[in-house]
Amino acid sequence: MVQQHITSAYDRDLEAIQAHIMKMGGLVEAAIMSSARSLETRDVELAKEVRAGDKAIDALEELINAETARLIALRAPTAIDLRLILSVMKVATNLERIGDYAKNIAKRTTVLVESPPVGDSAAALRRMAREVELMLKDALDSYIQRDAELATDVISRDQDVDQMYNALFRQFLTFMAEDPRSITACMHLHFIAKNIERMGDHVTAIAEQVVYLVTGSRPDDARPKGDVTSTTA
């Protein structure tokens, strides 16, 4: 009876932590899309909301880390359970970093509204952000469902995000070459594109964590990367 009570308490604690993860994931999904929408619509107030909302994301990460540390100390989890708990902490860390990138996009939006739009780049960035947001939704679903196949699909889709980034990078180079007055705005837009590309990397890290959680091993193949800008002449 005592052992059953301890197990039930452990399960309740773990369920509470995973509920925090899903709440945090929902906030991060919303931050991704709101930051991209604020850029496309030049909505400074929405950008401010994204920046303010990052505090709630940070607070949830701190809460998750505190509760997982407490769980390890009080429940002495088995090897399998410890793998789950450590995975939770890593998922929370990646979510927090994605939230930071959304906040950074919102910060640059408040600067970019002072400059004329650069082509349809804001809409292209919104589409790129939408792809990352969909990847994150599927990554979180794969985590809850313990679905390694869905997680593997998310990993493969990061290449699409990289290709979108590459296209935008070249587009910004063209704009700057044709009109030097656009250089400042294009530099901000490039950093936003890079922020979104890095979001995709963190979503991929979450999916890789799911594969590890389900199978006990890392994905067999090295993560495919499509960002070729570092080698662009």
CA distances from 212 to 78, 143, 158 (A): 16, 11, 18
Question: 3 pLDDT exceeds 60?
Answer: no
Query: Closest by alpha carbon to 33, among 150, 165, 136?
Result: 136
pLDDT in tens, 178-190: 999 999 999 999 9
> What pLDDT shows up at residue 2?
35
pLDDT digit string, tens, across residues 110-143 = 999 999 999 999 999 999 999 999 999 999 999 9
Residues near 162 by Cβ (< 8 Å), separated by ≥ 6? 197, 200, 225, 226, 227
| Domain locations along the chain | 2-231
**DSSP letter (8 states) at residue 230:** G
Tell me the pLDDT of the chain averaged across its residues: 90
Mean pLDDT over 20-25 rounds to 96
The pLDDT assigned to 220 comes to: 66
Q: For residue 70, is pLDDT > 70?
A: yes
pTM of the model: 0.89
Fold of 2-231: Methane Monooxygenase Hydroxylase; Chain G, domain 1 (1.20.58)
Burial class (CB in 10 A: 0-12, 13-18, 19+), 231: exposed
Give the pLDDT of residue 230.
54
